């Protein structure tokens, strides 16, 4: 045991209320570290894998990243199925259980407030996409080809106006969709849309939102379906993902998010 | 452009949440998480697999 103490550490997945611990189905690899009314969901990991330098390297290994990001989420999902859980960011490592307890003590108020905020809730992700060509086609018919210099200038001006109109319409649709969904949610956040380089899709992501909703509440999903139907002919589509643990709604106090 | 497969989109969703959100506890008590710009690293890996690593590196530098 003493030899391993220098080489292992505790990976912290998240925090639950101590009273919820009995309902957790215990994954034998997972250890509960408790302090006062809070309990951390942890696992012993090797510093060969999660030490600062090796973690940095491992994060650049796509297979490692995928496997471990999924493992992180799987543990949180299993916990979230039976208890409210405040998810920690991937790769939160403490050297010892005492350090985890110190962390829980130090952050008690923020973690307790986080648990309170997400109680009985799950997170849903909503994305709104625009197929610009179809949006343009839906907005205004294509101008006939210009034949004279003056007509050319006129066409250019129209084109610029149309581009501005399309942008305005996209903004309006995104704002309107977010507002409609927010009314059905406990809370909502708007994240930066992911660039095409990452999504690999031909459509532009106009809205990348997350909503906190009561677990089992279908109203957001149904509204997304409605929005998708309403907007489809205009070149937009709306998608929902989840339920996720409430990653987007647990930022500690003082964080910009 | 190399489109990401459906699995990759899910992975993007996952990485965006797991590496980008959640409680961050930086300080003396925690070892790793404080020090690594996880989002950038994680997204860079995804991009590399889509064959557009250089572009992100440029955008990352400009951001």
pLDDT given at position A130 = 97
Query: Does B40 have pLDDT greater than 70?
Result: no
Whether chain A has a CB inside 8 Å of the CB on B6: the answer is no
CA pair distance A169, A235, nearest whole angstrom: 11
Per-residue pLDDT band for B45 (boundaries 50, 70, 90) equals: low
Give me the sign of the Cα torsion angle A14, A19, A22, A23.
negative
Structure tokens at A60: 């650049």
Whether residue B16 has a cis bond before it, omega within 30° of 0: no
Beta bridge partners of A87: A14
The distance from CA A37 to its chain's CA centroid, rounded to whole angstroms, is 27
Bigger pLDDT: B24 vs A81: A81
Flag if A59 and B41 touch (Cβ within 8 Å): yes
**Chain A contact for B36 (CB, 8 A cutoff):** yes
Place of tokens 């215990």: A26
CATH code reported for the domain at A121-249 = 3.30.70
Would you call A199 and B14 a contact, using CB atoms and an 8 Å cutoff? Answer: no
ipTM: 0.77
d(CA A90, CA A72): 7
- A78-122, pLDDT tens digit by residue? 999 999 999 998 888 898 999 999 999 999 999 999 999 999 999
How far off is chain A from B43, nearest CA to CA, in Å? 8
- Best mutation site among B4, B9, B30, B57 for testing chain A: the one with the most A CBs within 10 Å? B30
Contacts of residue A198 in chain B, CB cutoff 8 Å?
Answer: 4, 12, 43, 46-47, 50
Q: Are A60 and B49 in contact (CB under 8 A)?
A: no
Closest by CA to A223, choosing from A188, A198, A257, is A188
The owner of tokens 């003493």 is A2
Which residue numbers in chain A have pLDDT < 50?
1-5, 253-257
């Amino acid at each position: 045991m003493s030899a391993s103490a220098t080489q292992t550490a505790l990976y912290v997945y998240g925090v639950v209320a101590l009273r919820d611990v009995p309902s957790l189905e215990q994954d034998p690899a997972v250890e509960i570290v408790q302090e006062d009314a809070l309990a951390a969901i942890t696992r012993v990991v090797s510093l060969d894998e999660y030490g600062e330098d090796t973690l940095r390297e491992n994060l650049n290994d796509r297979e490692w990243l995928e496997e471990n990001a999924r493992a992180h989420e799987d543990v949180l999902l299993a916990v979230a199925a039976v208890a409210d859980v405040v998810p920690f960011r991937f790769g939160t490592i403490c050297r010892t259980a005492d350090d985890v307890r110190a962390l829980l003590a130090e952050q008690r108020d923020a973690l307790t407030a986080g648990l309170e905020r997400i109680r009985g809730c799950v997170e849903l992700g909503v994305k709104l996409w625009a197929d610009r060509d179809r949006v343009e086609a839906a907005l205004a018919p294509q101008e006939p080809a210009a034949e004279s210099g003056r007509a050319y200038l006129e066409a250019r001006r129209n084109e610029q106006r149309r581009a501005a109109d399309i942008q305005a319409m996209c903004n309006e649709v995104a704002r309107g969709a977010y507002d409609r969904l927010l009314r059905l949610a406990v809370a909502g956040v708007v994240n930066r849309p992911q660039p095409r380089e990452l999504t690999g899709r031909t459509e532009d992501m106009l809205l990348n939102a997350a909503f906190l909703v009561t677990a089992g509440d279908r109203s957001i999903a149904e509204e997304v379906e409605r929005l998708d139907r309403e907007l489809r002919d205009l070149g937009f589509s709306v998608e929902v993902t989840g339920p996720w643990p409430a990653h987007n709604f647990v930022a500690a106090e003082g964080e910009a998010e | 452009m190399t489109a990401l497969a459906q699995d990759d989109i899910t992975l993007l969703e996952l990485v965006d949440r797991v590496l980008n959100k959640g409680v961050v506890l930086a300080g003396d008590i925690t070892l790793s998480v404080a020090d690594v710009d996880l989002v950038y690293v994680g997204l860079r890996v995804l991009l590399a697999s889509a064959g557009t690593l250089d572009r992100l590196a440029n955008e990352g530098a400009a951001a």
